[in-house]
Structure 1
């Protein structure tokens, strides 16, 4: 037994006379060097306990890494391009800006989209939500193009398409003839002839490419990923936990101080 073996060694050392901690440590080290089988045998006898210790250590180390990364992003937030030309919902002057990097055919993106959409619906003065594209499949890219085309026609309807596309995600997976997509567009009152013309716009290709390049520059390669005031939340997170992270970001973020005649950089980005 690991504890019993270690205790036996310590007792043996102490029984040999009064020794300092440094001397005791040196003597114990020497014993283990000369008899490594003691440790090996103890590890074999207590392999499950040892595995628990190792796993606990790994978890603790990973948690420290996550906390350090989170604090680093608080101090040095990512700075996505926030263009007024792109579709968004909520208040443009809201204290919390969420940028959603997503894929219309990603199941976890569907769950994540529901979370942030619900937050904005409940507290539109607190949140601004901007949808950006990180399509991982060719079909996803087509849906991204439709979203961007609708946004060029009517930004409000673009987010209605956002909701409808995620709600019908399973059907869109198998929508090889485009019937499901066509039905969604008709239900939203989209002029299909106008949409076809707008889909040829170079702006659409430019916007999607810019979103992908931006995500790559931030090291994002999976969906969904969210930026909350420049701090990343990767993957689907339930509503209560997402809100808790938002509050933590607001609490830990340096307070922006305005002076007469000056506007902070974040405010400029929102103009």
Structure 2
């Protein structure tokens, strides 16, 4: 999991009056340390409780490079996060049916190495196995935790979304499972990338600087701040926290458990 550097933490006055701090609802903040600790356990297969998979899944603990281990010996109960899934049918930055039984909200940053690793190695499998089958919907929230390139990339992703190429842009900027260099976010390079994806390069640059793109990015940033998401990647799988670019099998176990619970609820 990539953590935000101290000198890049979002200013507390973002969107507020100078000298004030955004007030986060205490009912949201209270469970966050516990919830994140769960995701940081070795393997972090799933939160315990009704949504946990069988022993065969939870026993497959694997140290993954996208998370950290707090050294806890037991798994505390896992509170759910607020439901932040938007389920907007025309959301160009989402993938999958709005009525899919499982919704994953992905907080990512284009300058986060673990996010690039997840996009390259895990996302394609999730699309084939779940999204294309109508079982999973993924909604992205691009953040700007790691500098100007992150913010530029977030605006560029919105511009790509306006031409129906959000996911292709996302995957292009994570080719090889590594983050694109800062030079990839110059106007010249971005236009070339857009045109290579079959987009209108001039319109792409104009959309990047549009109020629509900037408002969309700010909405994502505000949501992340209210949830105290200060590192990436962080996923909410039907409101349950899942932290880090964990192995594919961990995501499969988590999604399968949610599908089983959804199916049981229909019986």
Q: Do the structures match in fold with TM over 0.5?
A: yes
**Which residue is 2:75 aligned to?**
64
Bigger mean CA offset, 116-125 vs 159-168: 116-125
Partner of residue 119, structure 2:
113
Alignment of 1:45-64 (within 5 A): 59-60=72-73, 63-64=74-75
1:165-221, Cα deviation, whole Å (9 max, x unpaired): 111654433437555433321210111111222223211111111111111222211
In structure 1, what is the equivalent of residue 38 of structure 2? none
**Cα-Cα RMSD:** 2.7
Alignment of 1:125-144 (within 5 A): 125-136=134-145, 137-144=147-154
Alignment coverage as a number of residue pairs: 192
Is there any run of 5+ residues in structure 1 with no aligned partner, and where?
1-57, 259-271
Mapped partners of 2:258, 2:100: distance in 1: 14
Please give the alpha-carbon distance, in whole angstroms, between the structure 2 residues aligned to 1:240 and 1:257.
Answer: 26
| TM-score normalised by length of structure 2 | 0.63
CA contact (8 A) 1:171 1:180 kept: no
1:78 to 76, 83, 93: 83
The alignment's TM-score, normalised by the length of structure 1, stands at 0.63
User: Secondary structure of 2:111's match?
Assistant: coil
Q: Name segments (4+ residues, structure 1) moved above 6 Å.
A: none
Which protein has the larger Cα radius of gyration, Structure 1 or Structure 2?
A: 1
* Structure with greater helix share of residues: 1
Alpha-carbon shift at residue 59 of structure 1 (Å): 2.7
Report the Cα offset of residue 84 of structure 1. Answer: 3.0
2:211 maps to which of 182, 202, 212: 202
- Unaligned 5+ runs, structure 2: 1-70
Equivalent-residue separation in structure 2 for 1:204 and 1:102 (angstroms): 17
